Structure 1
Amino acid sequence: MLNDTVCNVFLNLHTPWTLEKWHIRAALRQNGIWVPDEAIELPSQEITGPHRDQHGKYFSIFLTINKKERACVLCRIVLFCRDPSEILPELDLTAEKPLNPEPLFPGAVVPENTRSGVRWDRSLLSDEPPPSNFTYVPLPVDITRVVRE
């Protein structure tokens, strides 16, 4: 569930800010996810603003769950202001996780944050035979039987 979440982080267009854990905590809470600050791992590069070109850009964070597992969450900066003359282009905040999120800075989006965390090996989709080091592992269940039932 967390790996499929896009967390919109709302930040002010006019007031200078530096992204902190409490920003992420509040944004996650808007998605119904409660986490303590110590469970949030921000990117190593400091994120400061506001800069208009940050609007709609993505970055990755990590959440530590029960001090054992790490989940990667994709975050998007959404700059807002109350002055109608300065409003930035509207973003679709309900859209699915993008296939190729536009990173806030190089390396801001980690590979785990592609849709569903899956990277397809396009060579497996071709008609060519698999490479010599390819090993077939049969599934423990007959898929056709599961689909029919």
Structure 2
Amino acid sequence: TRFPVLDLNASAQRRRTTRGVWMDLVAEASPGNRKLVVLDLEGSEGRERGATGHSFDGKIALFAFCVADVVLLNMWGHDALRLEGGFSAATMDMVLRHVVHSTPGASSPEQQHMMVVLRDMDTSTSEGAREFRAAVESIEARLGVASREPSSGNAESR
């Protein structure tokens, strides 16, 4: 894609790279000759948006699930540990609620997939991943959703 990316050499500070919604068409066709459209959506909890940020984050999350078959939620490992008490919990709750109670015209829940990518996480301990999994399972239990087990390997996914 031609999306802007964070240049770690230019800045030692973590900050938001994507602003708004970016879209790109992948040149190669997928099996069955279906075109692949990739959306890069602005991350959540940005300080730049202030009080209006939570509303915007929620709208972006719902937009993604209304138009996508697969959504990758890319989270910094440190942020994942704040899931249960922070805005991330509200966003995750809303996203899972949408998947469970899919609106007419949207992809059915059987067709939608969400994978959570925990990045920059210390792989020498899996405590953070266990805490994250427990928080997601708590949200799923409230919604009556059954999730699949994480894939094997270093990356924890859901």
Q: Which has the higher helix share?
A: 2
Whether these two folds match at TM > 0.5 is no
Q: Which has the higher strand share?
A: 1
Of structures 1 and 2, the larger Rg is shown by 1
- TM-score scaled by length of structure 1: 0.27
Task: Using CA pairs under 8 Å that are at least 6 residues apart, name the structure with larger relative contact order, 1 or 2.
Answer: 1
